[in-house]
Amino acid sequence: MQESIAKELLLSGHDRSDGGLITALLEMAFAGNCGLDIELRGDGTSIEHLFSEELGLVLECSPEKAQEVENLLEDRGIPCERIGRTTSEKHIRVLFNKETVLAESMQELRQIWEETSFQLERLQMNPDCAAEEKQNIYDRKEPRYFVSFTPKQTAQESLESLNKPRVAILRDEGSNSDREMTAAFYAAGFEPWDISMTDLLAEKVTLEGFRGLAAVGGFSYADVPESAKGWAATILFNERLKKMFDDFYSRADTFSLGVCNGCQLFALLGWVPWQGIEPADQPRFVRNISGRFESRWSTVKVLKNKAIMLQGMENLTFGIHVAHGEGRLQFPDGTIHEKIENEGLAALAFVNDEGVQTEKYPFNPNGSPGGLTGLTSADGRHLAMMPHPERSFLKWQAHWLPEKMKKELPVSPWLQMFQNAYQWCRETE
């Protein structure tokens, strides 16, 4: 098997164990979103053949490589048999000794297979969202990714520079993703510093020497006072810290990125979309409509916007990690929402498999209006977004990629965000 994998002879595989051959075949079809045309032969009954849980493997390979796989197995004395083919038509047909024993829509069988999970989902979340997901993924197609630029590795000159712009990777009690954020900025040529709120409170360091500030994701203070409220209070109710953050925000040579919990922090600080909004009118991120924490590989689209970290990336439609319980963007004042849309301050939006902005679940995991999931300041220097680009900047971090992109993309397009920040720092030195 390892030799076949190394030679790229196999497309997929599944062990024949719980449920037997038929379960392995159906689970492969469900995951592959395709049909099967199976012809089995043998003694005994079809039940014995289809539900036997004896040791075995089901392997899928392209027709032109089938003989090579068979030769590898036969050379080692491993019996194998061709039992059928996958089909683009989403229909399952199984013959045993030329008698049809199963002929059914793949989608219908998949719905039966998922029914127990669906009933559990209804008890664990907003049941309306569970029903919406069941409907929306019934005959789901693959997402349409679109890369509007050419992603590139960071120039070696930038990585080896001895005079790198410094970025503070800011975390608080309960934060996570600080190492991923550090890695993303480092991969773009920055000198990242691990800075905790305790460091700032104890006056061990200030923000004066940094060009960038990245507030990371996670669960500051376990989100007990709601997401990022404890973190924001630590800054807003400390006169010295508040001035330090205000000064950093106002310096013309700085930029900032708030992701997930950091995004919620920026909203509570009033850093996006602009300062001076009355607290009661401030856009903020509140509990997901699903009523639960959402951890998914979702598709987002980069909108036309002013963020320096997203320049040249307009219309990028690509997968990204999502992990939040309070990510729904709420606009207490509708005029602010309208101004954000009109002035290019909406940075990213969740889209469906066709690449269209959506509020439908699960494509939009939190229910934000228009799918909006990122805001930028008017000058573009400060960006807040709920999805995690730092968990998606390496190609292998993608949960799913079209086969063509697996071969052609040298890096994930999300690395460009961090490279853009580096380029901006160089141009504004």
Could you state, in order of their start, the residue ranges of all structural domains in the chain? 2-108, 156-427
Q: For residue 343, indicate whether it is catalytic.
A: no
Q: Pick the catalytic residue: 60, 121, 180, 390?
A: 390
CATH assignment, 156-427: 3.40.50.880
The CA–CA distances, whole Å, from 344 to 302, 303, 337, 339 equal: 11, 8, 11, 9
- Report yes or no: 286 and 328 within 8 Å, Cβ to Cβ: yes
CATH assignment, 2-108: 3.90.650.10
Q: For residue 399, indicate whether it is catalytic.
A: no
- Report yes or no: 297 and 363 within 8 Å, Cβ to Cβ: no
Q: What are the residue ranges in the chain where pLDDT is below 50?
A: none
Beta strands in 260-361 (DSSP E): 284-286, 294-302, 317-324, 328-330, 346-350
| Helix, strand, coil percentages, rounded to 5, for the chain | 40, 20, 40
- The DSSP element (H or E) to which 325 belongs, if any, is none
pLDDT in tens, 346-360: 999 999 999 999 999
Q: Which residues contact 267 (CB under 8 A, 6 or more apart)?
A: 228, 282, 283, 284, 285, 375, 384
CB-based burial label for 403 (10 Å; 0-12, 13-18, 19+)? exposed
Retrieve residue 182's tokens.
């550090």
Q: What torsion, rounded to 10 degrees, do the Cα atoms 231, 236, 241, 244 define?
A: 110
What span, in angstroms and rounded, lies between the C-alpha atoms of 216 and 185? Answer: 12
pLDDT for the residue 17 = 85
Q: Which residue, 273, 373, 282, is CA-closest to 323?
A: 373
What span, in angstroms and rounded, lies between the C-alpha atoms of 412 and 395? Answer: 5
pLDDT for the residue 126 = 98
What span, in angstroms and rounded, lies between the C-alpha atoms of 195 and 214? Answer: 10
pLDDT in tens, 293-331: 999 999 999 999 999 999 999 999 999 999 999 999 999
pLDDT for the residue 343 = 97
- pTM value is 0.93
Q: Pick the catalytic residue: 129, 260, 263, 425?
A: 260
What span, in angstroms and rounded, lies between the C-alpha atoms of 425 and 429? Answer: 6
Q: Which residue, 374, 296, 284, is CA-closest to 129?
A: 296
Q: For residue 260, indicate whether it is catalytic.
A: yes
What is the three-class DSSP state of 384?
strand
